[in-house]
Chain A
Amino acid sequence: MLSILVYGAVTSAIYAMLAVGFTLIFGVAGVLNLAHGAFYGLGAYAAYVLTARLGWPLFPAAITAVAAVALFGVAVERWLIRPLRHSALAVLMITIAVGLLFEQAMYLLFGSEARNVPAFINATWGFAGLDIGGQRLLTLVVGAAIILTLWLFIQGTRLGAAILALSQDREGALYVGIPADRIYAVVMAISAAIAAAAGVLTAPFLTVQPTMDLLPMIKAFSIVIVGGLGSIPGSILAALLLGYSETIVAYAISPAWTEIVSLVAVLLTLILRPAGLLGKRAAF
């Protein structure tokens, strides 16, 4: 019972980190970013190169990896997405091409075998007869902290207010002088950084290989559909819902069935409440 509670929370935190960035860039810029999984994967690979290959200490390596991926996200937004923004389909296709290039590049550079990234914390905590890996707890704590920081940032700063304004009414925001293109770049950087942070944090206990970007991304947009496209509280709620349902299914039936949970959740949501749990078109 307790293990369901803890492992469900860890899974939910990972899902929430992935889904929040995905829904943020969709809600604000209307970009359906199918390269989101590539940002997650790049974070993990950057951590692998910096620690295992170059021998950096863990903490600076993690920060550098996240910053590098954020820069990469800005570059993708500036040179690939922005010129094609007139067509939603072209944006979708270009992000898919970026995802495909990521997979191929990692395959050519590092081969198809899984890579190991050292854990930040090797200790395991035991309480009430349950042993849980320190890295998983760290993922839970840092994930929650990141999402809380994002919430405070959007609610409490001028830049956050500009992001909120753009997501609510693009033309209105342009009229009052909000520089949309610059805000889109900032949002892309935030979204890529959070995905990369998820990649860095989970790299020690999940597999790092070229095809790692796909499944987390599928989870991210399942969550986003269930929570309501563009709604951040919705995606946090849906991440908790999906994280816990998968953990419960894994314990009660078998881990094999967890993959079906998100598909069933998506189809049920679209049949019963297409707008998602918490409406849509409001970033917060």
Chain B
Amino acid sequence: MVGDRMRGRQAAGMIVILAALAGLPLFVRSDYFLGILSVCFIYGIWATSWDFMSGLTGRENFGHALFIGAGAYTAAFLNGKLGTSPWWGLPAGGLAAGLISLVIGVPTLRLRGPYFALAMLAAATIMQRLTLIFWQYSGGEEGIPGLDPMFETKTAIYYLCLCGFVGITALLLLFARSPWGLILRSIRGDEAASQAAGIDVTFHKIAALVVSACCAGIGGVLYAHYQEAVTPDVFSVTLSITIIIMVYVGGIGTLYGPAVGAVLLALLPELLRGLGQYRLWVYSLVLIFILFFAPGGLIAPLWRRVAAGRP
């Protein structure tokens, strides 16, 4: 009974938030603000996809930017250099990110220990260096400019990013609540026990990584076409760590928490003008605060309280 009521409240809350976001362009005419929100939704895609692999299985990925950059640069090569339609970027970017995740995931995820985390961090950084070194192909520091936007108006791009964000979050939440999600959680709980229960843990970890990478790659494609350019910054460690901090603020392993946390945290420096320059400084202090005082995050526990009707 209580569970039903809680689920009803959660659904009602979700519908209100979604309706508000969908109706927002009717009231807010500022292209600038809609643009900022579009980027916030893209951050939401990245944080949710990070949480799907790392939050559920407990294998931390310190180089999510590798997948984002793979998607973004694939889109840039296709649209900027070969001149194909921007829409081809979405499947191609997702596929490229998925393939790269196999290269890193297959050797490292069968091992215990911090190998996956370290290899991801190294791979993302080295990719960033490579885009600078092979500047003839990747445009070096300037990246690849002059991409076509997906739509002409900012309002249409806003709806595209919102749909991508809601669609990917809903899909990953569906996965997380399915038996597959249960398997992934069991790996986080006790890997040896799930193995003993006959679960091919390596296969499931790699599958989760590929799903997570594809979603991040699609987010990267959206980002590249939103910016109408890509720069090596899409591979940066700063981006990977920003995403992890967003997940921590949201509540690791809950998916909806990181989705909301990412949108709010990406919005924060824009709302507090002048904070933009100190963005990372604020983020790292927020991270230290959360590690010491709120290990469960901020958004997910709050949401659960509200949904349960407690003050």
List residues of A whose CB falls within 8 A of some B CB: 32, 34, 80, 83-84, 87-90, 92-94, 96-97, 100-101, 103-104, 108, 214-215, 218, 221-222, 225, 229, 256, 259-260, 262-263, 266-267, 270-271, 274
Contact = CB atoms under 8 A, between A and B. Distances in A.
Which range holds the interface residue count of chain B? 35 or more
A267 B241 contact: no
- Among B107, B278, B284, max chain A CB count under 10 A is at B284
Contacts, number: 91
Contacts of B122: 218, 221-222, 262-263, 266
A209 to B, nearest CB: 14
B291 interface: yes
A271 B126 contact: no
B227 to A, nearest CB: 21
A259 B118 contact: no
B280 interface: yes
Contacts of B114: 32, 88, 92, 229
Interface string B45-68: 000000000000010101000000
A274 B115 contact: yes
Interface string B112-124: 0111011101110
Contacts of B238: 100
Given A218-B126, A229-B113, A256-B134, A84 B291 contact: yes
Interface in B102-153: 103-104, 107-108, 111, 113-115, 117-119, 121-123, 125-126, 129-130, 133-134
B119 A80 contact: no
B130 A259 contact: yes
24 contacts: A32-B117, A32-B118, A34-B62, A83-B292, A84-B292, A88-B114, A90-B291, A92-B114, A92-B117, A93-B244, A93-B291, A96-B241, A96-B287, A104-B278, A108-B281, A215-B125, A215-B129, A222-B122, A256-B133, A256-B134, A262-B122, A263-B123, A270-B115, A271-B107
Interface in B239-289: 241, 244, 248, 278, 280-281, 283-285, 287-288
A80 B295 contact: no
A83 B293 CA distance: 11
B130 A260 contact: yes
